[in-house]
Chains A and B, each alone.
Chain A
């Protein structure tokens, strides 16, 4: 097996395809993205198959997941937000969480370690905020850039700051998820790579290799937490941004 920590991020074409000069090959990334859609779908179908009054184990897990996302969205955007955005937010959370968790297993590819994928998701949220913001508030959506209660001359400074702050959202939104997953995977791989290297150095190396091995185990536990936490943070910020879209006029 390769000792190169970047090897895990290589995209390999499984079924090469070409559409008018654009490479649309079915790659390992596509395969794991499909998996990321299929596992939550199967999970929700299984957990809601019986729909019993007294939930079984699967149904309980499904309902707690639902409640978890619902509470977060409700806390950030209220009942109006839940009515409009719950499907989007639930999909994002389950999708990202599944991709992160599946990527933790050996030989698997992690699509969230590719910035193009996190950027696409962040841009979906950004576009939703803009479209819903204009649909709900009309031109009052621009009040987001012109907060009330500021002395008139200060708007020369405040408005550009607010505009940049607004446009920096999709960037920080996508970079945060990508950087966490990317850095974590490299770190695990680097420490794991020390183990065979040290083992090749004879008896003293073999004893020493216990240390990076212990570090790898500890990092894996941390990465499991990060996999959940980043999915959660992404969803939470999505909720906060969507709340702005609904209430831009009241600022």
Chain B
């Protein structure tokens, strides 16, 4: 009798722990979402990464032009390199973002994945 009682105790405890774990799991991504998934924040970040690199490139070019009296060649070069640096910045920010984000959580399961 007591043995059986013990067993049922175990069962209810196990069930409880399973429920608690499930509840914790259900809560977890919701907590993370408020930090990382704000679309506006991400968009702002990408935009400023891109624009600031171009601005800095243009400013460095203008400075060199003023100094060496070669207007407008370094400005053009600076704009080009700044554009490239902006793209590099965005790729880096994107890599960081996807590193913190388990892949494909926000997507429906795709039936055919070609590049596996």
Contact = CB atoms under 8 A, between A and B. Distances in A.
Contacts of B89: 165, 168, 172
Interface residues of A, number: 22
Nearest to A172: B52
Given A171-B56, A172-B52, A179-B48, A165 B35 contact: no
A164 B57 contact: yes
Contact of B49 (A168, A180, A232): A168
B53 interface: yes
Contact of B56 (A168, A176, A229, A233): A168
Interface string A174-187: 01100110000000
A160 B82 CA distance: 9
Contacts of B81: 157, 160-161, 164
Interface of A is mostly: helix
Residue among A162, A168, A176 with most chain B CB within 10 A: A168
B45 A168 contact: no
A161 B85 contact: yes
A240 interface: yes
A211 interface: no
Interface in B21-70: 34-35, 38, 40-41, 44-45, 48-49, 51-53, 55-57, 60
Contacts of B56: 164, 167-168, 171
Nearest to A180: B44
Nearest to A68: B35
A230 interface: yes
B45 A233 contact: yes
B20 interface: no
B115 interface: no
Given A176-B45, A232-B35, A165 B96 contact: no
A176 B44 contact: yes
10 contacts: A160-B81, A164-B56, A164-B57, A164-B85, A165-B53, A165-B88, A168-B52, A172-B48, A176-B44, A229-B35
Interface of B: 34-35, 38, 40-41, 44-45, 48-49, 51-53, 55-57, 60, 78, 81-82, 84-86, 88-89, 96
Interface of A: 157, 160-162, 164-165, 167-169, 171-172, 175-176, 179-180, 225-226, 229-230, 232-233, 240
Given A165-B53, A168-B89, 13 more contacts: A161-B84, A161-B85, A162-B85, A167-B56, A168-B49, A168-B57, A171-B55, A175-B51, A175-B52, A179-B48, A225-B34, A226-B41, A229-B38
